[in-house]
């Protein structure tokens, strides 16, 4: 009995000493602590209403003026869960991962890989001065000689499914897993995209204001251990 007690106590001590990664709440439900805004129009018109705010416990992207809400911290190897819905009319928004140089494209978009949230297109990848490889690329991105990461190039890689999003006004759950140089995306439990050989594997995370009002009630990041894909 004493031996069993010793084994149990030892197991509990070892378990408690493990450096298990802890969940990070990117949005605290109260304010925009931990984020910074980059809204080009506000450079010359600082009195414009900011496009990001907190309302009724949700983080809201009003859509205009256009810009980005960017995490202060840099992240690598994680699973990000976003619960979101469009308010009113359907439209466009997105989550940018591995974001770095601000305003790298069109003097607006930070260098990154965008995971699209646009209604009916959730889960598309957009290359923004970074790139990623997917299976069946010509079917999903067009002829190879049109691909690129700059203006005028085919930067969109279409997702794998149709019909994964809920009806307008309902909450959707998007999970984005960034592990080493791979990115996987689920929408409401469906695997909607998978890419690999990404040209970046760490960076800031950004939320877009891109013309439509979107509410986020959850932005939760779970660090994961880097493994070989």
* Residue 87 burial (CB count, 10 A): 18
pLDDT of residue 11: 37
Mean pLDDT in residue range 112-139: 98
Work out the pLDDT band at 225, boundaries 50, 70, 90.
Answer: confident
226 band by pLDDT with thresholds 50, 70 and 90: low
CA distances from 187 to 67, 105, 121 (A): 24, 27, 11
Query: 192 near 160, Cβ under 8 Å?
Result: yes
**Interval 126-148: pLDDT, tens:** 999 999 999 999 999 999 999 99
Q: Token digits for 66?
A: 């256009």
Alpha-carbon span 63 to 104, nearest angstrom: 20
Predicted confidence at residue 156, as pLDDT, reads: 98
The pLDDT tens digits for 73-88 are 999 999 999 999 999 8
The more confident residue out of 6 and 91 is 91
What's the pTM? 0.90
pLDDT score of 194 more than 60: yes
Reported as half-sphere exposure (CB side, CA atoms, 13 A), residue 12 has a value of: 6
Q: Tell which CATH classification among 3.10.20.740, 3.50.50.60, 2.60.120.560, 1.10.3720.10 matches the domain 23-223.
A: 2.60.120.560
- Phi/psi of residue 94, each to 5°? -170, 160
Q: For residues 99 and 130, is the Cβ–Cβ distance under 8 A?
A: no
H or E element at residue 2: helix 2-17
* CA 55 – CA 34 distance, rounded (Å): 17
Determine phi and psi for 188, rounding to 5 degrees.
Answer: 50, 40
Per-domain boundaries in the chain? 23-223
pLDDT at 25: 98
User: Would you say residue 90 has pLDDT above 50?
Assistant: yes
33 φ, ψ to 5°? Answer: -60, 135
Q: How far is CA 194 from the centre of its chain?
A: 14
Q: Closest Cα to residue 175, out of 164, 158, 165, 187?
A: 187
Q: Per-residue pLDDT tens for 5-64?
A: 433 334 333 333 445 569 999 999 999 999 999 999 999 999 999 999 999 999 999 999
The tokens for 208 are 């877009």
pLDDT tens, position by position, 161-177 = 999 999 999 999 999 99
* Residue that the structure tokens 């067009």 belong to: 142
CA distances from 43 to 13, 57, 165 (A): 54, 28, 36
């Amino acid at each position: 009995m004493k031996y069993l007690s010793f084994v149990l106590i030892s197991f509990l001590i070892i378990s408690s000493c493990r450096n298990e990664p802890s969940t990070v709440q990117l949005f605290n439900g109260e304010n925009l602590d931990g984020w910074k805004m980059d809204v080009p129009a506000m450079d010359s018109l600082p009195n414009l209403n900011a496009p990001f705010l907190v309302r009724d416990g949700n983080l809201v992207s009003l859509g205009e003026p256009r810009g980005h809400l960017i995490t202060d911290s840099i992240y690598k190897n994680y699973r990000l869960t976003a619960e979101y819905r469009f308010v009113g009319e359907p439209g466009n928004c997105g989550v940018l991962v591995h974001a770095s140089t601000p305003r790298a494209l069109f003097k607006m978009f930070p260098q990154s890989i965008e995971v699209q949230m646009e209604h009916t297109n959730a889960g598309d990848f957009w290359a923004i001065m970074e790139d990623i490889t997917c299976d069946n690329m010509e079917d999903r991105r067009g002829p190879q000689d049109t691909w690129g990461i700059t203006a005028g190039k085919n930067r969109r890689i279409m997702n794998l499914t149709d019909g994964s999003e809920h009806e307008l006004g309902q909450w959707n759950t998007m999970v984005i897993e960034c592990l080493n140089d791979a990115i996987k995306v689920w929408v409401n439990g469906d695997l909607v995209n998978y890419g690999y050989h990404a040209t970046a594997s760490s960076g800031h995370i950004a939320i877009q204001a891109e013309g439509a009002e979107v509410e986020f009630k959850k932005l939760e990041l779970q660090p994961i251990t880097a493994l070989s894909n």
